Amino acid sequence: SGKLYQIVLGITPIGVITLSYGAWVLNHYIIWVGAGLLILGTLIMSITGLKNIIKDVLGERYESASRGKKLKALFSEPVKMSYYYLLMIAQLLVFPQIYVGLFTDEYYRLHEMVTLEYNFNVAHWHQLAVMISVALMVHAIDFFKVEGRLKKILGWIFFAGFNLTFPFAMAHMVRPLPLENFEGFRTIVFIGVWVLLVGFVIGLYALGKNLKSVAPTEHGGPASKPLILTEKTV
């Protein structure tokens, strides 16, 4: 709501149209002008979402609370925190891809860079797919009201998993030529992927168990109340 909502609502269609035109004419500079607008809008939403988590937990104590108490309040909702944190860090991880796009012809198309370009082209689509699936899972965990200790455990599993997976995946994708055969980043990524898989297995179990006990109105009927995607901005 408010001015932030109007800003995001205004720049998003401009970003989509600009990015689409850049993709149509195969011009990375135009693509990333549009992408930059979309990144800005998503960062505004994710940072506002993190702030609203703290406000919801602290209530009237928000203004007078110390940074430590605000951080503790944020950590008390690991599922919601993971959702907005993922949206935020995903935008930051896009910047190296901007670099690759802008320097494809000058650098990544050189003969000695064939392996690194191939690694990047294959990996970044998989990275985006896993990011989307993690975002959908943590949203489902919150929306279908998985509660208690299990919800907190799932929140921290996904938080740890994507911090191990995505930053190190990007580091592996854009590693310099001297590190072409270095597999340290990829090893950490595999560890993170296994952590995420554990989260998905437990998450699906929790959702299946919870869906049996939730009233139909909680699944989209008139009385349901979406939790994450409709939080108010300031």
The amino acid occupying position 134 is: V
What is the widest separation between alpha-carbon atoms in the chain? 61
Supply the pTM of this predicted model. Answer: 0.81
3-state secondary structure the chain: CHHHHHHHHHHHHHHHHHHHHHHHHCCHHHHHHHHHHHHHHHHHHHHHHHHHHHHHHHHHHCCCCCHHHHHHHHHCCHHHHHHHHHHHHHHHHHHHHHHHHHCHHHHHCCHHHHHHHHHHHHHHHHHHHHHHHHHHHHHHHHHCCCCHHHHHHHHHHHHHHHHHHHHHHHHHHCCCHHHCCCCHHHHHHHHHHHHHHHHHHHHHHHHHHHHCCCCHHHHCCCCCCCCCCCCCCC
The structural domains of the chain, with segments of one domain joined by +, span 2-219
Kindly give the confidence (pLDDT) of every residue in the chain, 234 residues in length, as a single tens digit, with 9 standing for 90 and above. 788 889 999 999 999 999 999 989 988 789 889 988 999 999 999 999 999 999 999 998 988 889 999 999 999 999 999 999 998 988 888 777 777 777 777 777 777 878 888 888 888 888 888 999 999 999 999 988 888 899 999 999 999 999 999 999 988 888 888 888 888 999 999 999 999 999 999 999 999 887 766 555 555 555 445 445 545 554
